[in-house]
Amino acid sequence: MGAINSIGVIGGGAWGTALALTAARAGREVRLWARDPGTVSEIRSRRQNPRYLPGITFDEDLNPTTSLEAAADADAILLVTPAQTTRAMLAALQKTGKVRGPVVLCAKGLEQTSGKLLSKVMGEELPGVEPGVLSGPSFADDVAKGLPTAVTVAANTAKTALSLCEALQSPCFRPYASIDILGTQIGGALKNVLAIACGAVVGRKLGASAQAALTARGFAELTRLGTAMGAQSETLTGLSGLGDLFLTCSSSQSRNFSFGLRLGEGFMGSELIAAGGKLAEGAYSARVAVKLAEKHGIELPICETVARMIDEDQTIDDALNTLMARPLKAETESV
């Protein structure tokens, strides 16, 4: 593939706007697609996206548009819409007939209806187009403000991964290339589920010791599933695995952690989902992760517990009792 000079960013939310700013700071020509004309108008006239990034004004030209065709006509595309809308957005991109370069998946989740990784969904909806994945410890506000951030950018070939990294690199944004698309996606999807569990522990005021233990055992689950599915160990211990898990399991800036906080405070999963509000991808991925684990013959007790809290309205106290009453086992296989 040739040099990436133009980038279409699909999604006018907080993360989409932040990544559009990143691409612009890296010297790329950017076209940012948003579904809402009001968002496009605010970005164009005020250099702000107050609905999603309140208090942040930027100088970069993001060329906002409601035309998917215009945004898709680029050397590379960053798809930054929620995981559960990925299939529909890929189908819409296919219909434009404009896609000519790699499409980088920037949502962190698993398709709830099919249980598939988003790269598999892309293979069905955009056959023949190179997939990429961008993931890692990154909050949209930090990236939009130009605070130092490092992420993983994965593709099927090192050449494509490096080209994407070169197209996005700036003094405040450092992407690391990978050819482990599968592992990069597993880390991003699982950490969201585990962040809900950590948020619930904090919301129930169970203490820092419990939070640390849950994070560590959660990483063991992430590693177990990733390994079973063929992920590289270096990916799971890297930015898109352990790095993102650490960030998301320790900050109320995380939507998934905040969702868990509410569960810990006594709200039922069905209440929170019915109320809408900020998207928590982990709420959709929990049961899918458990089904994947069953398919590969492994156990994910924390993910299973989160799934029950969301699907069956299990309380935090019942969830804790279930986890603590599990049969004793060795921490490592060498014992």
Determine whether the annotation assigns residue 159 to a binding site: no
Determine whether the annotation assigns residue 138 to a binding site: yes
Determine whether the annotation assigns residue 52 to a binding site: yes
Task: Mark whether 191 is an active-site residue.
Answer: yes
Strand ranges of the sheet holding 6-10, from the earlier edge strand across to the other edge: 64-65, 29-33, 6-10, 76-79, 103-105, 131-135, 149-155, 173-178
C-beta atoms surrounding 252 within 10 Å: 12
Say which DSSP state 84 is in: G
Determine whether the annotation assigns residue 251 to a binding site: no
Amino acid at residue number 73 = D
Q: Which candidate in 191, 205, 295, 329 is catalytic?
A: 191
Determine whether the annotation assigns residue 295 to a binding site: no
Which residues on adjacent β-strands are paired with residue 8?
31, 77
Determine whether the annotation assigns residue 95 to a binding site: no
Determine whether the annotation assigns residue 140 to a binding site: yes
The answer to whether residues 279 and 259 touch, using CB atoms and an 8 Å cutoff, is no
Query: E strand or H helix at 201, and its extent?
Result: helix 181-203
Determine whether the annotation assigns residue 136 to a binding site: yes
For 124-141, b/e burial (b = at least 16 CB within 10 A) is: ebbeebbbbbbbbbbbbb
Determine whether the annotation assigns residue 13 to a binding site: yes
Determine whether the annotation assigns residue 271 to a binding site: no
Determine whether the annotation assigns residue 256 to a binding site: yes
Determine whether the annotation assigns residue 33 to a binding site: no
- Please report, for residues 58, 149, 196, the alpha-carbon distance to residue 172 in angstroms, rounded to integers and kept in the order given: 15, 6, 29
First to last CA, the chain: 49
Determine whether the annotation assigns residue 238 to a binding site: no
C-beta atoms surrounding 13 within 10 Å: 20
Determine whether the annotation assigns residue 278 to a binding site: yes
Determine whether the annotation assigns residue 15 to a binding site: yes
Residue 149 — φ and ψ, nearest 5°?
-145, 140
Determine whether the annotation assigns residue 36 to a binding site: no
Q: Who contacts 110 (Cβ-Cβ below 8 Å, separation ≥6)? A: 83, 116, 117, 118, 189, 284, 285, 288, 289, 292
Q: Who contacts 318 (Cβ-Cβ below 8 Å, separation ≥6)? A: none
Determine whether the annotation assigns residue 108 to a binding site: yes
Q: How many CA atoms lie within 13 A of 69 on its CB side?
A: 3
Q: Which residue has the tokens 């955009």?
A: 126
Determine whether the annotation assigns residue 218 to a binding site: no
Q: Which residues are catalytic?
A: 191
Which residue ranges are tagged as binding site? 11-16, 35, 52, 108, 136, 138, 140, 191, 244, 254-256, 278-279, 281
Annotated binding site for sn-glycerol 3-phosphate: 108, 136, 138, 191, 244, 254-256
* Binding site listing for NADPH: 15, 35, 52, 108, 140, 255, 279, 281
> Which residues are annotated as part of the binding site for NAD(+)?
11-16, 140, 255, 278
Specify binding-site residues for substrate: 108, 255-256
